[in-house]
A and B are shown apart, each in its own frame.
Chain A
């Protein structure tokens, strides 16, 4: 059961919200939802526990008049109600609805925003103790320390060791971190909890989904987007999803008297730079008319604006290929928000044209190819475009002639995009374009300079075609026992390197088990038996 508590004062600010209508709609639409309007909830977080006492909900959404200032009080109240505060979703319905729009629109927006928040809360996984970190939002003093009323906690990421590929040389999360809070030590990712700002860039950079940040997981964002767009319908005009930074949430251009269109629906993320192109385009696939990236009003303290702009640029290149207006994905500059002048296209959602939405889970790393193929199927099922762009979420690896199939690239690949396939005929390097994130670890690992080529490109034909063999070589079989012991290509390379070495013939003709015997003879051991195998047998 999910409890949705609404502050009764939302009826009054600005034009107000018809809370009864919102409650009726939510309970009718979300079977597990129970809505309660609580008098002065914003001013008295202590009323949360009594409100939930008889219900024992698994998740809670709070619809408040303003963003909670006394977060510590709110968190204490949630704990008293038996809930993990890091799993509670709060919606600033005052700024996002009641104070910004006429009553009918405000009510419809409140409905949609709460439905989205409920979906996000329901898909949250339980947190672990190490995912909570205290935040000092007041100047630390000894007296402050001695009463904990100010103490509130925020989420920090943890790395799931069972899914992490750092042991294979992957360091994509560390590379993505703007504060260098993550580092790989002896094949394990270590997080400096004091330096980390919980921006979430590591979450979307990890190709195996090993970085977990409560509240910002792909499954949660996807559920929220789907519910939000479904609830918004067409009543508010063309729905536009606005990814907002947590540092200035709800700020959709209300400064200097400007307002945002009622169809602009905010989705708060820890940092807008964590939003990968797949999320931007996936939002369109879910039915949004447009997507806006709205950085913090004061600008990103980590200087990620260029990264956001480059991702939007990539998305626009994709939209052009799809025959869609590129303005459907837009990044607004920091500072004032002239929302009505951004020119975000109000074209119908791609999903509306295509019929069904892509199946669930397409925002998770590793599933992005499915999204791109879905998007392409809307415009032209046979399209075969490719886009070379430094922010392409995919890479394409090619192998030049002379690959020895040593497997170094395979061992270095953090996503298993490169694999070695063995069969009776030989061994092959197989490349799965849908899994490649273009990290370049394979190129670094290849011992043959210039053998591997990597291009950051979204190649639709290759994504559609699936895994392909990049290099193949038959097995070299042992001249004595007949066992396959290496690829012909590898043996050929070794033979070339050992051209002047006397034992080269032994190395290239015999498997390791039989090689010792032949080696003994060649090193002057003379006729006899070693390792149980008569040397004479090797001659045959």
Chain B
């Protein structure tokens, strides 16, 4: 990680979020190819990943991506997420708050960060893939901010913290639990397990980064 240089943590997190987001979409060959590319990119940072407690889950997912067979995933995805009784990968299924409130809050979060859900996505704002992709988007902005002005990075980190705390951390572990109960040996159980572990881990990383920024001078680091 050290050799990879400044901003790598944000890159790493961005790639992880993007990988999780793409794998929680219906597994078309194109998406799986994208996932393989992202997994290969993460493999470069294996030393840094090994510092995180979700490393064991990551290894299982990586092995599954590498070994396939990917045709099984279509059946698993449909059985778990499309056909009743299903375990929908979306926040409103797990939130105790009113669905309208959750959707409105999410849309507001996306808009406040300068993002909007494209119509062709075909997923609701509370879909796991959308929320994870949004975190990837924030990490990308954080990566850019690290090279310019610490205040910008702090603002993005605050947004990440807020989004994780209000959304992903609240429901992703419960989603992982449900998928594990529904299909304990499936790829998606491993994937959801990793997603649940990673959002908890990332919340702590974001907290650390914010603490760090509060304590240090606002001197920009070069990317």
User: A133 touching B55 by the CB < 8 A rule?
Assistant: no
A136 touches B208 (CB 8 A): yes
Q: Is the CB of B50 within 8 A of A146?
A: no
Question: What's the least CB distance linking B177 to chain A, in Å?
Answer: 10
A148 near B209 with CB under 8 A, answer no
B196/A129 in contact, CB under 8 A:
yes
Cα of A438 to Cα of B197 in the assembled complex, Å: 39
Nearest Cβ on chain A to B163's Cβ, whole angstroms = 18
Chain-B contact segment, one of A34-42, A77-85, A379-387: A77-85
B47 — which chain A residues lie within 8 A by C-beta? 76
A72 CA to B50 CA in the complex, in Å? 10
**Is B75 an interface residue when CB atoms closer than 8 A count as contact?**
no
CA gap between A147 and B208 in the complex, in Å: 13
> How many residues on the A side are at the interface (Cβ–Cβ under 8 A)?
27
Q: A145 touching B2 by the CB < 8 A rule?
A: no
Chain B residues 159 to 195 lying within 8 A of chain A, measured CB to CB, are 173
Interchain CB contact (< 8 A) of B197 among A80, A129, A140: A129
Task: Say what secondary structure dominates the interface of chain B.
Answer: helix
Of chain B, the residue at the smallest CB distance from A80 is B50
B200 and A129 form a contact (CB under 8 A): yes
Residue B78 at the A interface, CB < 8 A? Answer: no
B22 interfacial contact with A, CB 8 Å: no
Q: Which of chain B's residues have a CB closer than 8 A to the CB of A140? A: 208, 211-212, 215-216
Within 8 A of A (CB), among B40-61: 47-48, 50-56, 59
Given contacts A76-B50, A149-B1, contact A82 B59 (CB under 8 A): yes
Q: Is the CB of A134 within 8 A of B55?
A: no
A25 at interface, CB cutoff 8 A? no
**Cα distance, A151 to B204, chains bound together (Å):** 11
Q: Is the CB of B2 within 8 A of A130?
A: no
Q: Are A148 and B48 in contact (CB under 8 A)?
A: yes
Verify if A54 is at the interface (C-beta below 8 Å from B): no
Chain A stretch 80-103: residues in CB contact (< 8 A) with chain B: 80, 82, 84
* B residues in contact (CB < 8 Å) with A: 1-2, 4-9, 47-48, 50-56, 59, 146, 150, 173, 196-197, 200-201, 204-205, 207-209, 211-213, 215-216, 221
Extra contacts besides A147-B48, A153-B53 (8): CB < 8 Å: A79-B50, A79-B55, A129-B173, A130-B173, A132-B53, A142-B150, A142-B213, A146-B8
- A selection of 24 A-B contacts at a CB cut-off of 8 Å is A72-B51, A75-B51, A79-B56, A80-B50, A84-B56, A129-B173, A129-B201, A132-B201, A136-B211, A140-B211, A141-B215, A142-B150, A142-B213, A145-B208, A146-B1, A146-B8, A146-B9, A146-B146, A147-B1, A148-B1, A148-B48, A149-B51, A151-B51, A193-B204
